[in-house]
């Protein structure tokens, strides 16, 4: 059943007054991922290079939460600069999940693992994370929480430490879709301080495009997501979700998103390229950590900035900087960066072809999509969370594989939410010694169809 909670949530956040009962977030505690700046708590992005950093200003999203009565409970640990899928790459130490298998902690997912665990353990009512290629949705899937990545540009990035600007999106982790939607309503505003914030004119076009919520959803089921790496536990939960939706009267439609296979490779070219440029400003002069020495006399003939960056960045961050610097170099840019940008366009076109609604950022809809679907439903992650010991044995590329289902929506800037789905009893017994009871199911919508995506997620939930 579709509940009419959305209108209530929106109406509820119209009043901004002093801290009294009329405030929509009346003292609700919200944890903030440590790459979103706060002026009263340090912001380290889980990196040694920012270990002494407290921002002189506050991110717009944090300001909005406070204005609406929220209590900022803590900063949440994460993968350094958002780079990782398991929240184990942190200068502050790894994030541990609340779940274990045979006594060994499982991965909480990354990079917003601290935010997800804070919600899952009831340490806060909701949390902010950031999602560049899946970092809100994957931890949600691994911890049994809801993780929502809105359309790119709806929520302000002012005060969000960049990983890859063209992909970075503030996301919300909560115990239910309703809670995530309530936070979203509060944060969904134009911000002149963020040059990529969607202009009021575009927001108007999105609102004009909005249709009434269909009684029966046309659900796209991408055949290309049926990969052999999909574990039987996740496949089982996915199939039973689709069956339940069909039983409720919604219709399933096989769709093809052929560029999905190239999306992951394109993402791992584009994101490190942007990161290598973004991280150049961390040089030991302007922020945080600086290598030791009498006023940082060069050691081993290294200039101060090289020494600082060598000591300040962790292994994964250095790997991404090298990768990005290489793919942007004159000898490699044509074969890597430019090709990846082309793949990104194809991924966007794949989605535009299958959605019933036209992308409000385009003048026309590419043909070939047939009747079109309202939303696409996929698993969030191909497997249940690995143990932290298994993560240690993974090669970087194996770790990147976790993002295969989340990255396409990021490349296209689309709204996507992960909701927990129970595993079948039989599967639960199969996952011996483990106490994970859910996996994530992802709902993806057309650009700007955030409300539709959240309402569809309500039905799945």
- Please identify every residue annotated as catalytic: 33, 111, 135
Which window, 129-137, 331-339, 363-371, 451-459, contacts ligand GLN (CB under 6 A)?
129-137
Question: Is 386 a binder of ligand GLN (CB under 6 A)?
Answer: no
Looking at 23, 28, 58, 131, which residue binds ligand GLN (CB under 6 A)? 131
Q: What is the bridge-based pairing of β-strands 29-33 and 126-131?
A: parallel
3-state SS, the chain, equals: CCCCHHHHHHHHCCCCCCCCCCCCCCCCEEEEECCECCCCCCCCCCCHHHCCCCCCCCCHHHHHHHHCCCEEEEEECCCHHHCCCCCCCCCCCCCCCCCEECCEEECCCCCCHHHHHHHHCCCCCEEEEEECCCCCHHHHHHHCCEEEECCCCCCCCCCECCCCCCCCEEEEEECCHHHHHHHHHHHCCCCCCCCCCCCHHHHHHHHHHCCCCCCCCEEEEEHHHCCCCCCHHHHHHHHHHHHHHHHCCCEEEEECCCCHHHHHHHHHHHHHHHHHHHHHHCCCCCCCCCCCCCCCCCCCCCCHHHHHHHHHCCHHHHHHHHHHHHHCCCCCCCCCHHHHHHHHHHHHHHHHHHECCCCCCCCCCCCCCCCCECEEEEECCCCCCCEHHHHHHCCHHHHHHHHCCCHHHHHHCCCEEEEEEECCHHHHHHCCCECCCEEEEEEEECCCCHHHHHHHHHHHC
Which window, 20-28, 76-84, 223-231, 432-440, contacts ligand GLN (CB under 6 A)?
76-84
Question: Is 135 a binder of ligand GLN (CB under 6 A)?
Answer: yes
277: phi then psi, degrees, rounded to nearest 5: -75, -45
# binding residues, ligand GLN (CB under 6 A): 14
The answer to whether residues 36 and 169 touch, using CB atoms and an 8 Å cutoff, is no
Cβ at position 46, least distance to ligand GLN in Å: 11
Looking at 108, 113, 133, 220, which residue binds ligand GLN (CB under 6 A)? 133
Question: Using CA atoms, how far apart are residues 170 and 149, in angstroms rounded to an integer?
Answer: 7
Cβ at position 82, least distance to ligand GLN in Å: 3
Which window, 131-139, 279-287, 298-306, 348-356, contacts ligand GLN (CB under 6 A)?
131-139
Question: Is 198 a binder of ligand GLN (CB under 6 A)?
Answer: no
Question: Is 132 a binder of ligand GLN (CB under 6 A)?
Answer: yes
Cβ at position 369, least distance to ligand GLN in Å: 28
Question: Using CA atoms, how far apart are residues 59 and 38, in angstroms rounded to an integer?
Answer: 6
Question: Is 413 a binder of ligand GLN (CB under 6 A)?
Answer: no
Question: Is 85 a binder of ligand GLN (CB under 6 A)?
Answer: yes
Which window, 58-66, 132-140, 332-340, 387-395, contacts ligand GLN (CB under 6 A)?
132-140
Looking at 24, 84, 159, 448, which residue binds ligand GLN (CB under 6 A)? 84
| Cβ distance to ligand GLN smaller for residue 404 or 460 | 404
Residues within window 256-295 making contact with ligand GLN, judged by CB under 6 A: 271
Which window, 67-75, 133-141, 368-376, 449-457, contacts ligand GLN (CB under 6 A)?
133-141
Cβ at position 81, least distance to ligand GLN in Å: 8
Residues within window 86-115 making contact with ligand GLN, judged by CB under 6 A: 111
| Cβ distance to ligand GLN smaller for residue 133 or 150 | 133
Side-chain-facing half-sphere of 136: CA atoms under 13 Å:
31
| Cβ distance to ligand GLN smaller for residue 182 or 321 | 321
Question: Is 409 a binder of ligand GLN (CB under 6 A)?
Answer: no
Question: Is 80 a binder of ligand GLN (CB under 6 A)?
Answer: no
Which window, 41-49, 130-138, 203-211, 435-443, contacts ligand GLN (CB under 6 A)?
130-138
| Cβ distance to ligand GLN smaller for residue 82 or 440 | 82
| Cβ distance to ligand GLN smaller for residue 308 or 439 | 439
Binding-residue pattern over the window 138 to 177 for ligand GLN, x denoting contact by CB under 6 A: -------------------------x--------------
Cα angle value 210/355/8 (rounded, 5°): 30
Cβ at position 405, least distance to ligand GLN in Å: 12
User: Which residues of this protein are in contact with ligand GLN, per CB under 6 A?
Assistant: 82-85, 111, 130-135, 163, 271, 403
């Amino acid at each position: 059943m579709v509940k009419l909670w959305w209108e209530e949530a929106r109406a509820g956040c119209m009043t901004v007054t002093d801290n009294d009962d009329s405030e929509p977030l009346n003292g609700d505690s919200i944890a903030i991922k440590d790459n979103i700046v706060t002026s009263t708590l340090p912001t380290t992005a889980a990196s040694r290079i920012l270990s002494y950093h407290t921002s002189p200003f506050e991110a717009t999203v944090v300001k909005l939460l406070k204005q609406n009565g929220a209590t900022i409970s803590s900063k949440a640990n994460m993968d350094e600069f958002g780079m990782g899928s398991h929240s184990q790459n942190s200068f502050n130490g790894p994030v541990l999940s609340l779940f274990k298998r045979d006594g060994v902690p499982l991965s909480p997912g990354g990079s917003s693992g601290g935010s997800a665990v804070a919600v899952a353990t009831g340490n806060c009512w909701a949390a902010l994370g950031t999602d560049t290629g899946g970092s809100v949705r994957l931890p949600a899937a691994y911890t049994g929480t809801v993780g929502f990545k809105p359309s790119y540009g709806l929520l302000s990035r002012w005060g969000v430490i960049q990983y890859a600007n063209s992909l970075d999106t503030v996301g919300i982790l909560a115990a239910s879709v309703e809670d995530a939607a309530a936070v979203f309503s509060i944060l969904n505003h134009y911000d002149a301080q963020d040059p990529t914030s969607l202009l009021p004119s575009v927001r108007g076009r999105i609102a004009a495009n909005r249709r009434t919520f269909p009684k029966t959803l046309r659900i796209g089921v991408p055949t290309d997501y049926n990969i052999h790496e999909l574990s039987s536990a996740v496949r089982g939960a996915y199939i039973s979700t689709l069956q339940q939706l069909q039983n409720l009267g919604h219709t399933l439609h096989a769709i093809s998103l052929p560029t999905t296979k190239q999306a992951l490779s394109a993402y791992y070219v584009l994101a490190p390229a942007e990161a290598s440029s973004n991280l150049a400003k961390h040089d030991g002069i302007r922020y945080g950590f600086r290598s030791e020495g009498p006023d940082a006399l060069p050691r081993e003939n290294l200039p101060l900035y090289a020494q600082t960056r060598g000591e300040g960045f962790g292994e994964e961050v250095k790997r991404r900087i090298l990768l990005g610097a290489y793919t942007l170099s004159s000898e490699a840019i044509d074969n890597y960066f430019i090709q990846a940008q082309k793949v990104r366009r194809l991924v966007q076109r794949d989605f535009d072809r299958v959605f019933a609604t036209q992308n409000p950022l385009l003048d026309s809809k590419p043909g070939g999509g047939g009747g079109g679907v309202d939303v696409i439903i996929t698993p969030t992650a191909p497997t249940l969370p690995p143990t932290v010991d298994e993560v240690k044995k993974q090669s970087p590329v194996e770790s990147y594989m976790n993002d295969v289902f989340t990255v396409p929506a990021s490349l296209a800037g689309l709204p996507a939410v992960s909701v927990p789905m129970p595993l079948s009893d039989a599967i639960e017994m199969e996952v011996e010694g483990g106490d994970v009871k859910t996996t994530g199911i992802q709902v993806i919508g057309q650009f700007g169809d955030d409300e539709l995506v959240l309402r569809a997620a309500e039905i799945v939930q």
